Amino acid sequence: MEIKNNQWIINNRKVSFCKNKLIASFNSSGIINDCNISATLALQGMIQGVDSYPMFLDFVKTIRAEKESGTNKYDNDYIPNEIWLEASNKWDFETSKRKN
């Protein structure tokens, strides 16, 4: 990234990396255990080159809506842990899609 004439110029570049070392680093650091859903989404995003956070969040919101089904059970944008866990169990992190 650089600034020219008061505007940011962004040049995307491919960066080679060792997928196995990246996975090992995530596992050995403990982040996969401590921040399972978020860390797994981040790791898969790096491996696939796709930001799956928005797709997963939409899926989480769909499950929340199904559970809520017009009852206004949850306040505002609050999503309880059990919804996140259910979504993670029904999500294929490698394909960034709902499991069949």
- The segments of the chain whose pLDDT lies below 70 read 70-76
Write down the pTM of the prediction: 0.74
Identify whether 82 is part of a domain.
yes
Query: What long-range pairs does 88-91 form, CB within 8 A, spacing at least 24?
Result: 88/36, 88/37, 88/40, 90/59, 90/63, 91/56, 91/59
How many domains in the chain? 1
Task: Please compute Rg for the chain using Cα positions.
Answer: 18
Identify whether 4 is part of a domain.
no
How high is the pLDDT of residue 100? 77
Picking from 84, 88, 68, the residue whose alpha carbon sits closest to that of residue 76 is 68
Identify whether 64 is part of a domain.
yes
Identify whether 78 is part of a domain.
yes
Cβ contact 39:32 at 8 Å: yes
The letter for the amino acid at 98 is: R
